[in-house]
Amino acid sequence: MPAEFSYTFVRVAKCDMCGAGPDKHRMMGLRLNASQGRSPKSASGIAVSVKRCSECGLVFADPRPVPADIGDHYGAPAEDYWTPDYFHYDPSYFGEQIADVKRLIEFQPGMRALDIGAGLGKCMRSLGNAGFEPYGIEPSEPFHRKAIGEMGADPQRLELATLGEAVFDKESFDFITFGAVLEHLQEPSKAIQRALEWLRPGGVIQIEVPSSDHLVSKIINAYFALRGTNYVTNISPMHAPFHLYEFTLGSFEKNGARLGYAIAHHRYDVCAVMNLPRVIHPLLKWWMGRTDTGMQLTVYLRKG
């Protein structure tokens, strides 16, 4: 972690998604502010406790580190955050998700869509190509500049702002997406609540998040335990990619009961297998596909 990063540490009084109190927060282990490697005990750095809500399965840091400035995490050049291949636009990008939402909302051309955390603007471009009227929010100045300069995002429709700063009319969107965003936000439940205010009744919010039931994480945690350490591989609140949370389907079911939405559709994606011998990757991918223990959970939330 660069020396210039500074944090305030906030104790967690309740689960952000379901509201369960500290008596339901089970200690999992510690997470360093740097890559832990195979032997976290031999690494140096600052560690935070990682806990799991026994009511809904949400995984989070307690205390939760809050950076002094969002630019500390996301103000780096876009080239430092993504691999070079990410800067090439594929017309099929976000295609599966668009097909899902068109079915769920009975799509009509010109429906309005909002991409929260638009990044390079690739999703906005695909939404426009698919007949939506796309808008976006991006809090990172380097990402925002790249989206306009290289991806052709409309500066009138891509706002440089945080979710809390952005202003839209109530019930003005048919579709809202958080693609790989919610796990970075300090209070994901408030973020969903704000998005619901902008969503029309019957509209859909699509969210992609890390699953807290990921098989590979459980295997690595078991390895750490066998080595006599109390470290875990879950989340990364103080180093890239700065994940603060991991979620289960139950996290959204219980949050939906609080905020007034229902899960219209969901799926688990296996994604890449990392940090384990390549020879067992095919077996692990097969098993994760059979047991819904892949890396990523995607949910589609319908406003009541």
- Average pLDDT over the chain reads 93
pLDDT in tens, 11-50: 999 999 999 999 999 999 999 998 888 888 888 889 999 9
Taking only the tens place, the pLDDT of each residue in 106-151 is 999 999 999 999 999 999 999 999 999 999 999 989 889 989 988 8
Any domain includes 175: yes
Whether 222 contacts 30, CB under 8 Å: no
Residue 133 lies in a domain: yes
On whether residue 56 sits in a domain, the answer given is no
* Least reliable range by pLDDT among 83-87, 100-104, 250-254: 83-87
Q: Which H/E stretch holds residue 221?
A: helix 215-226
pTM above 0.85, yes or no: yes
**What are 153-175's pLDDT values in tens digits?**
999 999 999 999 999 999 999 99
Residue 131 lies in a domain: yes
- 34-to-67, 181, 197, 210, 215 alpha-carbon distances in Å: 15, 21, 37, 19, 22
d(CA 96, CA 177): 13
Residue 287 maps to a domain: no
Q: Tell me if 280 is assigned to some domain.
A: no
Give the model's pLDDT for residue 75: 60
Supply the DSSP string of 27-55, one letter for each residue: EEEEEESS--TT-GGG--S-EEEEEEETT
CATH label of the domain that carries residue 96:
3.40.50.150
Q: According to the model, what pLDDT value does residue 2 have?
A: 43
In a domain, 180, yes or no: yes
Segments forming the whole domain that contains residue 198: 72-211+258-266+294-303
Q: Give residue-wise pLDDT tens across range 228-256.
A: 999 999 999 999 889 999 999 999 999 99
Of residues 189 and 41, the one with the higher pLDDT is 189
What's residue 40's pLDDT? 86
For position 88, what pLDDT does the model report? 83
For the chain, what is the domain count? 1
Which amino acid type is present at position 303?
Answer: K
Classify residue 165: in a domain, yes or no. yes
